[in-house]
Structure 1
Amino acid sequence: MTQTTIKKLGFWSIVLFAINSIIGSGIFLTPGSVVSMVGAKAPLAYLGAAVIAIVLAISFASAAKYVSKSGGAYAYAKASFGDRFGFYMGVVRYFSASVAWGVMAVSVIKSTLSIFGGNPNDFRSVSIGFVILMIIITIVNFLGEEFFTWVNNLSTIGKLTSLVILIIAGVSILLVTGQNNFSQINRLTGNGGLIPSVTTSSFVMAMVAAFYAFTGFESVSSGSEDMIKPEKNLPRAIPLAIIIISIIYIGTISVAMMINPVAIVKTNQVVALAAVFSNRILQTIILLGALVSMFGINVAASFNSPRILEAMANEGQMPHWIAKRNRKGIPIVAYIITVALAILIPMSFLYETTLVILMSAMVRFFEFIVIPIGVVGYYYDKHQQPILNAPKNWWTDVLIPLLGVLLTAFLLFEYDWVGEFSIHGHLNWYAISGMIGGFVVLPIIFALFARWERK
C-alpha cells in the first residue's frame, strides 16, 4: 500500500479530534476547585478562561496556515527561529507530551478503580490496568488511520453527548421544579465558610485553574501531514472546536450550580458532576461520559506525541529510521519509542504526577509565547525558513497573537510558582532537578545523539 492511499482526517474529523484533544477529565472531575475559589462567579471564571483559550487558539491556527508540516509547535518554531531553536522546542515538547500521555493513562486507571470501589493507590492494580490500557490504545493506532478516526470520532461524540445530556436534564429539572439553587453557594462563601470572600486575586487564580480545562489545542497540529489540506482546515477547525467547548463548559458549570452547587464543593465522589444529580440514570451517564472522555484524550495523545518525534526525524534533526512508517501509514518506530517513555517514566516515579504537571505547564507557557511571536514574524516576512504563501490578516496574524503573548505573561505572573517549587516552605529539589533534567540535560543528550547519527 502506498502512502497516497492512506485515509487522512477531513475537516469535521479534525474538529472532533481537536475537541477530543481538549476535553479530558477536568470538566468532569475538578469543577469543585474553581467553584471553591470564587463561588457564584465560577461561570465567569470559565468565560474568562475561554477568551484566553480562543485568543491563543487563533494564534496557533494562524501558524497552521503558514506551516503545514507535522510537529505542531516544533515545526512553527523551526520555521520562525531556525534549526537550533526548533530542535530545542521539539525535544522539550516531545518529552513533555509523551510523559503527560502516560500520566493521563494512569489517571484513567486510578479514576476507574475509585469509581468501582478499588484502591487507586495500589501499585500492582494500577500497573496492570495501565499496561492493558496502553495495549488497547496501541491496537487502535496499529489498525490504521481509518479505524483510529472512527474511534476518535466515537469517543468525542460520547463525551459531548454526556455533557449535552447533563445540560438538557438540568434545564428540564429547572423548568419542571421552578427552583434555582444557584444562590445556595453563597451560604458557603465568606467568613467561616468553605469558600473565602472573592477577591481579584482569587478570581484570577480560578480563571487560571479553569484555563487548563481548555489546553490541548496546541497539540492538534502535531500530525498535520495526516490531515487533508491542513493549511486550510486547521485554521478553521481549531477555533471552532474551542468555541463549541466553551459553550458546553459554561453551560455545564452554570446548570450544575443551579441544580446543586453545594454538592460540587462538598462531594467526595471522584466525578464531581455526578454528585449534582440524585437520579441514578443521570449519574451513570455522567460517570460513563467521564470514562469515555478520559479514554478519548488518551487516544488523541497517542496520535499527537509520536508525530513530534517523527517530524524531527523527517527534518533530519533525529535519526532518519525513527520516521519509518508501516503499510498502514503509522509511524511505528516513533510510536514504539513514545509508548515506552509513556509507560516507563510514570512507572519509575511510582506514578507521582507533580513533576509532570509542572513540566507540562512550563512547556505550554513556552509555546504560548514563542508561537504567537512567530506568527507575527510570518506576517512581516521575518522568519528563518520558507513558509506557505498564505493570505495575511493583520487582526489574526498580528493583533491577536500579540494579545496572546500579553495574556500568557499574565498567566505566568499569576501562576503559583512558589507552591510548585516548595514543600512546606522548603525547596522541592525533586521538582527543581526534574525541570533541569527536562529543559537542560535531555536536550543536550538528544543533540549529542542526533550529531552522532549524522556522523
Structure 2
Amino acid sequence: MPVESKLNTAESSVAINNKIGFISIFLLGINGIIGSGIFLLPNQIYAKIGVASIAIVLIASLLVLVIALCYAELASKFTENGAAWIYSYRAFGRFVGFEVGFYAWILGIIILSSEIAGFLTALAGFFPELKNNYVYDLSALLICIFLIVVNYFGVSLSRLLNDFSSVSKLIVIFLFVFVGVFFIDINNFKPFLLPKVVSDDSFYSSFGAALGIIFYAFTGFSFLPIAAARMKNPQKNIPLALILVIMTCSVIYFLLVAVSISVLGKNLEFSSLPVADAFSKMVGNWGYNLIVIGMLISIGGVILAFSFSVPLIASSLALQHQLLPEFMGRKNKYNRPVNALVITFCLCSLLLLSGDYLFLISLAVFASFVQYIPTALSVIKLRSDQTLPTGFVIPGGTCIPILALCASIYLLSNFSLKIFLFGCAGLIVGAIVYFIQWKYVKFNSSN
C-alpha cells in the first residue's frame, strides 16, 4: 500500500469525537507558550533595559502576532500534520520542506529538554536532593518515560492533562496579577531606561538583546498547527486559536512583568525567581510557594504540549513523501506514532544528560526564527496557488509577511557567533540526512 494511502487510512480511523475541539486547541496553545520563560526571564530583560521591559514585551507581542498571522493563513489551507514543513514543501519543494521539518523536530526536542531541565530546577526548591547529579539524571529519565506512556495511549489522556494544567496555571497567574494591583508603586517605574543604556549609547544592542530574550517566552506558538490532522475543523479553528492565544499570552506577559517591576523595583534585576519573589513580598512565604507550584504546573504544561506535538513532526516527515524512514511513521492501535515518540525522547534524554540549560534556550530561539523565515516566504508564494483553499487571508497584501521576514532576520543578527554556528550545523546535519534518505528511496524504487 502506498505511504500516502497508509496515512489517509490511519487518519480516517480516528473517530471525530476523539479529535481536539476549539477549547482544547486554545488551551493547547496556552500550554505550549506559557512555560518557564515568563517566570524566569523578567529579571534578564530588566537587566538589559530597565523599566522599558514593559515596552519590549509589547513590541515582542506585536512581532509575534505578525509571524503568527503567517501561520494562521497557511493553517487555513492545510489539514495535514506538520505545519511549517508542509507549507515549505508545497511552496519550495522537497529539500527545503525537509530541512524545515527536520529542524522543527530538533527544535522541539531542544525545547522539551530545556523545559524538563527547568522543571527539575524549580522542583529542587522543594526537594534539594535533585541537586545531586545522579538523582537529577534519574528523575529526568523517569519524566521522559512517563511522557512516553502518556502519549502512547493517544489523544484523550493528553487532552485531559493539557486542559487541567492550562486552567491551573491561568488561575495562579490571574491571582498574582489581581493581588499585584493593590501593590502598585509608580516610583519603581522611573527611570524608564537604565542610566547605563543611555550613557554609553548601547540602546540598540540592549534593545535587540532584550527582545531576543522575551521571544523565548513565545516560541511554542508555531507548534500548535503541527497536530492539525488530530483537530476538529483545523482550517477554521487553528487560525482563530493562534490569534487568540498570542493576544492572551501578550496581555498576561505584560501584566506579569509590570507587576514584578512595580513590586520589586531595582531588585528585580537580582532575583532568580522574580515572579515568586514578588508574590512573596506581597503576601508572605506562602505566596512564594504558590508561585513555584504554579511554575511547575506551567512548565509541566509546556512539556506535555510539546510531547504531544514533536513526535508528529518526525511521523509526518516519514509518512508524507518518505522524507524520513517509513518506520518513523508507524502508529499503534491508539493512532500514535510510537517509534517517533520513543526516538524523540531518547534524543531528549541525551540532551538532558549532557546539555546546558541556558545554551539550549538560546539555540531554541535561533531555531525558531529559522522556521519563521520560510513560513513567511511560503505565504507570499502560495497565495497564487489556485489548487489550495482560499481560507483566511492576512489583510494588507504582502506587508505582514515582509514585516515578519524583516523581524526574523533582525533578531537572528543579534545572536552570538557560537549560537549561529551551532544553528547552521543543524541545517548541515539535516542536509546529510536528507541525501542519505533520498539515495535510499531512489535505490529501492529502482529495484
| 1:212 is aligned to 2:216 | yes
What is the CA–CA distance in structure 2 between the aligned matches of 1:262 and 1:436, rounded to whole Å? 38
How far off its partner does 1:215 sit?
1.5
Whether the 8 Å contact between 1:379 and 1:392 is mirrored in structure 2 is no
Residues 397 and 12 from structure 1, CA distance in 2 versus in 1: closer, same or farther, beyond 3 angstroms? farther
1:361–1:170 Cα change, 3 Å: closer
In 2, are the aligned partners of 1:100 and 1:342 still within 8 Å (CA)? Answer: no
- Partner Cα separation in structure 1 for residue 107 and residue 207 of structure 2: 29
Task: Report if aligned partners of 1:264, 1:272 keep a CA contact under 8 Å in 2.
Answer: yes
Amino acid corresponding to residue 24 of structure 2 in structure 1: S
- 2:138 match: 128
Question: What is residue 145 of structure 1 aligned with on the other side?
Answer: 155
Residues 197 and 168 (structure 1), Cα distance of their counterparts in 2 relative to 1, 3 Å cut: farther
With normalisation by structure 2, the TM-score equals 0.88
Tell me if the contact between 1:99 and 1:346 (Cα under 8 Å) persists in the aligned partners.
Answer: no
The TM-score, its normalising length taken from structure 1, stands at 0.86
Structure 1: distance between partners of 2:326 and 2:232: 24
Question: What residue number does 1:300 align with?
Answer: 305
| 1:332 to partner: Cα distance | 1.0
Query: Relative to structure 1, is the Cα distance of residues 160 and 302 closer, same or farther in structure 2, using a 3 angstrom cutoff?
Result: same
In structure 1, the residue matched to 2:167 is 157
Q: Which of the numbers 413, 428, 440 marks the counterpart of 1:440?
A: 428
Contact 2:22 2:241 in 1 (8 A): yes
Which of 209, 224, 242 is the matching residue for 2:246? 242
Change beyond 3 A, Cα 1:346–1:439: farther
Alignment match, 1:10: 21
**d(CA) in 1 for partners of 2:287, 2:219:** 27
1:142 is matched by which residue type in structure 2?
A: Y
Listed as ranges, the matches of 1:410-425 within 5 Å are 410-413=410-413, 415-418=414-417, 420=418
Amino acid corresponding to residue 140 of structure 1 in structure 2: V
Instruction: Give runs of aligned pairs for residues 36-185 of structure 1, distance below 5 A.
Output: 36-114=47-125, 116-118=127-129, 120=131, 122-174=132-184, 179-183=185-189
SS at match of 1:307: helix
Tell me the equivalent position of 1:451: 439
Tell me, in whole angstroms, the C-alpha distance in 2 between the residues paired with 1:284 and 1:113.
Answer: 12
Higher alpha-carbon deviation: 49-58 or 350-359: 350-359
SS of aligned partner of 2:14: helix
Indicate which of 350, 353, 356 corresponds to 1:344. 350
State the one-letter code of the partner of 2:310: S
Structure 1 residues 25-34 or 109-118, which shifts more?
109-118
In the other structure, the counterpart of 1:398 is 398
Q: 2 CA distance for matches of 1:160 and 1:345? A: 30
Correspondent of 2:33 among 22, 27, 30 = 22
The 3-state SS of whatever aligns with 1:293 is: helix
Match of 2:128, SS state, is coil
The separation in 2 between residues aligned to 1:282 and 1:222, in whole angstroms, is 37
SS at match of 2:398: helix
CA distance in 2, matches of 1:187, 1:237: 34
Structure 1 residues 359 and 447, CA gap change in structure 2 (3 angstroms): farther
Q: Counterpart of 1:202?
A: 206
1:428 maps to none
SS across alignment from 1:327: coil
Distance in 2 (CA, whole Å) between partners of 1:212 and 1:435 is 16
Provide structure 2 residue ranges, at least 5 long, that are not aligned to the other structure: 1-9
What amino acid does structure 2 have at the position aligned with 1:117? P
- Larger helix percent: 2
Q: Percent identity?
A: 24
Partner of 1:330: 336
Q: CA deviation at 1:140?
A: 2.0
Structure 1 Cα separation of the partners of residues 336 and 81 of structure 2: 14
Task: Map Cα deviations across residues 373-407 of structure 1 (whole Å, 9 max, x no partner).
Answer: 101112122xxxx8531246351663211211121
The answer as to whether partners of 1:365 and 1:408 remain within 8 angstroms in 2 is yes
CA contact (8 A) 2:75 2:225 kept: yes
Match of 1:314 among 312, 319, 323: 319
Structure 2 Cα separation of the partners of residues 403 and 319 of structure 1: 37
Contact 2:76–2:236 under 8 Å retained in 1: yes
Task: Give unmatched runs, 5+ long, in structure 1.
Answer: 422-430
Once the two structures are superposed, residues 187-227 of structure 1 have per-residue CA deviations (whole angstroms, 9 ceiling, x without a partner) of: 99436x9x988734323322222222111111111111111
Q: Count matched residues.
A: 427
What is the alpha-carbon distance in structure 2 between the residues aligned to residue 167 and residue 345 of structure 1? 35
Could you tell me which amino acid in structure 2 is paired with residue 409 of structure 1? I
Whole-Å Cα distance in 2 between the matches of residues 41 and 353 of structure 1?
Answer: 26
Partner of 1:426: none
Corresponding position of 1:424: none
